[in-house]
Structure 1
Amino acid sequence: MPDGLRLVLRVTPNAGADRIEAIETRDDGTCVLRVRVRAVPDRGRANAAVLALLAERLGLTRTSLAIVSGETARIKQVAITGDPTMLAERIMALVTPD
């Protein structure tokens, strides 16, 4: 995306806490960002919690993010509007230990 990027997530709903965990390499070689949310996967609650968590942690408005695939699946693609370089740096900062 020239005005943003797409992020692939592996979402675990109904978790003990809302958190962004790590980048995980899956068996097929794809990389996903593991995210856990307390919300239940009912009527889009978990999806809304995922977007709110990402927006908060990335310092973006909620309207900058949208789920573009996987609404009812654990593996989701999220489109994020903004400068791709800045977004990539912020995402890496979330999963890199200090």
Structure 2
Amino acid sequence: MSVEPWRYAAHGVSIALRVTPRGGKDRIDGLETLADGRSVVKIRVRAVAEGGAANRAVTDLLAKELGVRKGDVHPLSGATSRLKQVAVDGDPNRLGERLRHLITAAINGA
């Protein structure tokens, strides 16, 4: 696996995302390496990118998959971009382990 696209902080993690709105379903699709070499978590959501609907869907999906409250997922940057940075509050080690598990499952088609 390439470099993990999240950073650990005292109160959680910060995750780099590439979001595909109108992606047919809400799910984490694995990792992607961007042209500049950065690694991101690929996410697709059914919601359209209008009125913040896709951003809310991303928040809902991450909260569900990481086992945290929706209020624990905060956008940091990229509100109107496919490339986003979000913070997730919680135990950083548990969140990192859960992200690794979700990425591995996505890559292996589980």
Q: TM range, normalised to the smaller chain? A: over 0.9
TM-score (norm 2): 0.85
SS at match of 1:32: strand
SS at match of 1:96: helix
Q: CA deviation at 1:8?
A: 0.4
Unaligned runs of 5+ in 2: 1-8
Q: Are 2:78 and 1:75 aligned?
A: no
Unaligned runs of 5+ in 1: none
Provide the residue aligned with 2:68 in structure 1: 60
Q: CA deviation at 1:31?
A: 0.7
Q: Tell me the amino acid that sits aligned with residue 31 of structure 1.
A: S
CA RMSD of aligned residues (A): 1.0
Provide the residue aligned with 2:33 in structure 1: 25
Provide the residue aligned with 1:41 in structure 2: 49
Whole-angstrom CA distance in 1 between matches of 2:91 and 2:33: 25
Whole-angstrom CA distance in 2 between matches of 1:85 and 1:53: 20
Whole-angstrom CA distance in 2 between matches of 1:94 and 1:84: 15
Q: CA deviation at 1:36?
A: 0.3
TM-score (norm 1): 0.95
